[in-house]
Amino acid sequence: MVPLALTILCFYRILTWWYSIDSDCTAPIAIKALKRTNRLAWVIAAAFTGWSLTLFEFGDAYMQSHVAFYMGITVIGCIFCLSHLRSAAFIVSLVVNVAFIGFFSETGNRVFVAMAVDVALVSVAMLVVLCVQYRDFTNLVAKQRETQALSDENRRLANVDSLTGMPNHRCFFAELDIAFAEAQSKRKTFAVGLLDLDGFKPVNDIYGHAVGDQLLIEVGERLSRVCDKVFVSRLGGDEFAFIVPDAESRDLFALGEEICALMRAPFLVSEAIVQISGSAGFAVYPEVGNSSMQLYERADYALYQAKR
C-alpha cells in the first residue's frame, strides 16, 4: 500500500504542475506554490526515505546495494531539480542524508559506510554549487527587474510632459492612433480637441518664465479636474489637446464652453492674480475626418476659426 500511495502522490503532483503551465501565475500564487513545495519537501522526503529503509532488511546483498544506490542518486536528482528553490533542496538533502548516513553507518558494513560518506560529500558539493547558481540566479532576476524599471521609467519620461506631468505630444499621437483604430473597428465616434491659451505671452513677458511655467501647471490641473473620461495632454507651449470618446456635437460645444470658462477664471500664481482666456476647436470622427492626422488637422483648423 505504501508504494501505491507514494505513486499516487507523485502523479498528483505531476498533474498539478502540468495543468498550471498555461495558467497566469501572479506573485501571490507563486509565493503560495513555493511555500507549499517547502512543506511537501519534508513530507515526501521523509516518506520515500522511510519506505526505502524498510525495504533494506528484506533483500539480499544486491537488493540492499540497490536501495543504497536508489537513495543516493535520487537525493542528487532532487537537489538538481530544486536548484531554483534552495530551501526545498536543503530540506530534501537534510532529511535523506541524515537518515541515509545514520542508517548505513549502523550496518557495520564498510562498503555501505563508504557509500554513505560518498553520498554525503557529493550532496555537500552539489549544495555548494546550488548556492552559487542560486546567487547568480537571484542577481540575474534583480538585474532584470532593475532593467525593466529603468525601461519603464524611460518610457514614462518619453510620454510625459516634464513641466505639467501630463501626457505629452508623443503620447497624444500614440493615443490618437489607438482611439482611431478602436473607433473604426467598433464603429464608434470620438473627437479630437485643441485648446490654445490667449494672453499667455504677455504673462510670460511681464511676470517672467517662472510664473508662466506655474500658470501652465495650474491650467493642466484645471483641465484634468474638469475633463472626466477625456484624455488630456499638453502638446507644447500653451497648446493642449483632448481625445473625447463617444462624442456628440452638442456635448462638445458644452465641453468647449466649460473649458473656456475655466480659462477665463483668474489664476493665483506666485501671489499674482493672472487673467487669461482660451480658444478651443474640435473635430469629430467620422464626420470630418477619415484618418487620425486628418482629424488633428481639422481640429487645428477649428481652433484657428475660434481664435479669429
Check 161, 196, 238, 246 and give the catalytic one. Answer: 238
> What separation in angstroms does the CA of 295 have from each of 148, 260, 282?
35, 21, 9
Is residue 104 packed enough to be buried (19+ CB in 10 Å), middle (13-18) or exposed (0-12)? Answer: buried
238 in Cβ contact with 294 (< 8 Å): no
Between vectors from CA 52 to CA 51 and to CA 58, what angle results, nearest 5°? 100
218 in Cβ contact with 269 (< 8 Å): yes
Q: Is 205 a catalytic residue?
A: no
Cell output for 301: 483648423
188 in Cβ contact with 245 (< 8 Å): yes
Side-by-side strand order, sheet with 190-198 = 231-236, 239-245, 190-198, 277-285
Among the listed residues 16, 107, 20, 39, the one whose alpha carbon sits nearest the alpha carbon of residue 68:
107
Measured between alpha carbons, how far is 284 from 193 in angstroms, rounded to an integer?
A: 9
Q: Say how many CA atoms lie within 13 Å of 112 toward its Cβ.
A: 22
Residues noted as catalytic: 238
